[in-house]
Amino acid sequence: MTRTISKWVQLEQPRLGTRVTFATDEFFGAKERIIDPADPVFIADRYDDHGKWMDGWESRRRRSPGHDYCVIQLGVPGLIHGFDVDTSYFTGNYPPQVSIEACSSNLDVPEDGWLELLPMTDLSGDAHHYLDVRDDRIWSHVRLHIYPDGGIARLRIFGEICPDFSEVDGFVDLVAIEHGGRAIACSDEHYGSMHNLTAPGRGLNMGDGWETARRRGPGNDWVILALGQAGVIERAEIDTAHFKGNYPDRVSIEGASFATDEEAVSNDSAWKTLLPEAKLKMDQQHYFDEALQSIGRVSHVRVSIYPDGGISRIRLFGQVHG
């Protein structure tokens, strides 16, 4: 799971509209913290009115039968391929076991329709638990059960978004997260995750983008993106927002049609040039339409930057093709 997890989208991101809609108890730690995009932290001398402040969702010590749980409503429904149940900094107060259910519903807090995705599983304190899921159904909600009580720092929900393009008429950003687009591989992401490239809106800061380490040898950096739906790309946008002394000098884009993500990563001969090398400027949006070459329908793109640096967002607009 840990080797393949990076290719999937984190469905729990609040910027996608995901919310924690219910928790049986949140006495020591607010339920919303469990999907905070930032990594958890520990502040030794921080206390609040309820006791020691912990960066996660934490229930009080249970003195009656039963167990605690919380409900997470995904901002965009999708397939679920795995979880990271993170108990970082929870040592004497983590739950010994966890299980996870999912359902599809229009309600904020569904009561019915829950099906088990992850059976009761042992946890340890102050650790990441990468848990695989084999399921091909689309879910809108996740219910996390902890036994019997305690604290979870973060829950990461890894999967892919399966949008409905049946009513789409005209241009659409084929690589946007909300349309099922996702980054599947890159040469380097030392300073910023490749998954930021397809996120909603413009980057909040330099950390909210994809940035590679400084290249000290020959070659250049690249990232491969899977489109949410195969299509003909007619306009590209490369946004270097917030990147000033570290933006790439140039960029190029290639496209191809592949049956699987693995082919897109390994088959180098299939790529065709969509955008020849083009100059970039710092901290601005760059639009390319007339410069794009006609290569037909593609399912994946490879964006190359020369020689290295940071990009905030990539948008690829086009007509959807089945």
How many beta carbons lie within 10 A of that of residue 106, not counting itself?
A: 7
CATH number for position 221: 2.60.120.260
Among residues 161, 183, 215, the one where a domain terminates is 161
Instruction: Give kind and range of the element (H or E) at residue 169.
Output: none
- Are 156 and 176 in the same domain? no
Q: How many domains, the chain?
A: 2
pLDDT of res. 166: 74
- Are 145 and 179 in the same domain? no
pLDDT of res. 130: 95
Please tell me the distance from the alpha carbon of residue 2 to that of residue 82, in angstroms, as a whole number. 10
- Are 270 and 136 in the same domain? no
Q: Is residue 166 part of a domain?
A: no
Among residues 105, 134, 161, the one where a domain terminates is 161
- Are 23 and 125 in the same domain? yes
- Are 65 and 211 in the same domain? no
pLDDT of res. 202: 96
Q: Is residue 280 part of a domain?
A: yes
- Are 176 and 153 in the same domain? no
- Are 117 and 187 in the same domain? no
Picking from 189, 198, 267, the residue whose alpha carbon sits closest to that of residue 226 is 198
Picking from 308, 268, 311, 318, the residue whose alpha carbon sits closest to that of residue 288 is 318
Radius of gyration over alpha carbons of the chain, in Å? Answer: 21
Among residues 161, 193, 227, the one where a domain terminates is 161
- Are 99 and 73 in the same domain? yes
Q: Which two tokens stand for residue 109?
A: 């807090």
- Are 148 and 17 in the same domain? yes
- Are 264 and 214 in the same domain? yes
Q: What is the pTM of this model?
A: 0.90
The helices-and-strands tally (H runs, E runs) of the chain is 1, 22
Token pair 């950390």 in the structure block, residue:
207
- Are 251 and 305 in the same domain? yes
Please tell me the distance from the alpha carbon of residue 26 to that of residue 18, in angstroms, as a whole number. 18
- Are 141 and 109 in the same domain? yes
Picking from 187, 243, 242, the residue whose alpha carbon sits closest to that of residue 215 is 187
Q: Is residue 167 part of a domain?
A: no
Boundaries of domain holding 122:
5-161
Q: Is residue 128 part of a domain?
A: yes
H-type alpha helices, the chain: 261-266
pLDDT of res. 267: 79
Per-residue pLDDT of the chain (322 residues; tens, 9 = 90+): 554 677 799 999 999 999 999 999 999 999 999 999 999 999 999 999 888 999 999 999 999 999 999 999 999 999 999 999 999 999 999 999 999 999 999 999 999 999 999 999 999 999 999 999 999 999 999 999 999 999 999 999 999 998 877 777 678 999 999 999 999 999 999 999 999 999 999 999 999 999 999 999 999 999 999 999 999 999 999 999 999 999 999 999 999 999 999 999 987 899 999 999 999 999 999 999 999 999 999 999 999 999 999 999 999 999 876 5
pLDDT of res. 284: 97
Are 202 and 312 in contact by the 8 Å Cβ rule? The answer is: yes
Q: Is residue 99 part of a domain?
A: yes
